[in-house]
Chains A and B, each alone.
Chain A
């Protein structure tokens, strides 16, 4: 294996107390143009899986419980 695992701080964060993914909600995952959000199989909460964000905001705007917040990626900020 010659592949590195390099950590990076992602721009989308999810408030697990507000996220209702365990009830079957996948709104943020569905609306992301770049398909970078996913539901964590262990915690049953949404999270940003890939650092490929256009900071476009549908995930935050369309979340029914206000659990998602988007900040500008650090490299641009």
Chain B
């Protein structure tokens, strides 16, 4: 059940609905104007806290070299907005090539995570077999391993497979995240058995039941997994740095690190770099947020 859908579909009394369609709470009660006012005040305050820092970064990145970015009281809007800092970023590093590599890695990561964790999650939730407890335990343990301690061992494994310095090598360790498998397991577990029962009677085999019935019912959770996978791949720094040697294969985070290493004193340039790094994520989230909130409603994040 989706949070939003539940919230949206609930204004109960149809007669009331037309008159004050949206000024009601989730129980269909009328919201007082005074209450409405302080709610908006609070909402705006939290908005300033959560989104403000990003806007400040955007504003810094648009300020020209002559504008004082340290002034007190601060100037929130750039006096003469300029894209000059973004051009400089592109001049310094092949930012679009790196972004393309990041996109490839992130897209592959989304596909492998969605497919792999849906399959494994389905097995854990729906199929009865010897060793299921152990399989679950494997994924739970994997979630608890502190990644910072095992990077070198991961690299050694990758080299033995001959996959170092390839984008495949970047994708593989996170290709099927344990957390995602457990998320999918919970989503499948929350589906009633009756749904599959009918298909079973019709003679559908495991694969058909999985593909045609179970999977479409957990689209929301898949969206959650997709977003997590995309974020994780887009963000990662240490692993791509270690596994890649060839600059033509570098990802965006490594590129941004060049920027930070070379122009640490230039807040405007670093700000432009961070905006380039974060904007695609926000755009992706804006597109997928509807599915995302629904996925959360499915109980995806319940232990």
Partners in one complex: no
Instruction: Show the binding face of B for A, using Cβ within 8 Å.
Output: none
Chain A interface (Cβ < 8 Å from any Cβ of B): none
